[in-house]
Amino acid sequence: MIMCISPMLYSQSVYKIYESKDIDMKLSGTSTLHKWTMDTKTFDGDGQFNFKPGTSDILISIKNLNFSLAVQDLKSGEKGLDKNAYKALKSDQYKDIDYKLTSAIVSPGTGNKYLVKTHGNLTIAGVTKQIIMDIACIVNKDGTITCTGSYKLEMTDYQVKPPTFMLGAMKTGDAITLDFTLVYKK
């Protein structure tokens, strides 16, 4: 008896976040005093991108996508703001902010651009919530994949008390935005 196992219908490749000048992740929000932004270029993660057979640029699915960043790598340029943010995010107890993809639907755009509707789990300060987020992906000529996205959330949804300072006279808003540009390389 001869058994035949058919080859996979697509090409799978595992990619890691590639440290380049193009990667960036920001948390931003408002306070009674001014808008604020905390930024980092230090994080890691990986993804499994699947391409049409025989191609390396026609993306058909994403089976895995995750990233992780150390809370204390986020910097605003203001030590007091950073200190209050780290305390609010419970960074002594929960060191990282993590995202793990649970499912994705890839829609082709023009050329090498794709819109990916994702479902995943975002963990902040030890609290995990299921989120839906759109990510724009570009398959670059050098084989890297650039993923950009933005997600708005309420800190209190993650049991994070918005920081206050100056004995409570100044307060940050509950709403914050997570913006990112990640470059994945095979």
Model pLDDT, residue 156: 95
User: What would the pLDDT profile of 82-119 be if each residue is shown by its tens digit?
Assistant: 998 999 999 999 999 999 999 999 999 898 999 999 99
- State whether residue 39 is helix, strand or coil: strand
pLDDT at 5 over 80: no
How large a percentage of the chain has pLDDT more than 70?
90
Computed over every residue of the chain, the mean pLDDT equals 89
Q: Do the beta carbons of residue 106 and residue 116 sit within 8 Å?
A: yes
Question: Looking up tokens 């931003």, which residue turns up?
Answer: 28
Model pLDDT, residue 34: 80
Q: Average the pLDDT over 44-73 and give the result.
A: 93
Question: Looking up tokens 């058919």, which residue turns up?
Answer: 6
**How many CB atoms neighbour CB 137 within 10 A?**
24
Query: Rounded CA gap, 95 and 72, in Å?
Result: 8
User: What would the pLDDT profile of 11-36 be if each residue is shown by its tens digit?
Assistant: 567 899 988 888 999 999 988 778 88
| Burial (CB count <10 Å: 0-12, 13-18, 19+), residue 147 | buried
Q: Do the beta carbons of residue 102 and residue 121 sit within 8 Å?
A: yes
Model pLDDT, residue 33: 73
Q: What is the fold of 11-185?
A: Lipocalin (2.40.128)
Model pLDDT, residue 3: 38
Model pLDDT, residue 124: 97
Query: Rounded CA gap, 51 and 59, in Å?
Result: 4
Q: Is the pTM of this model over 0.85?
A: yes
Domain limits, the chain = 11-185
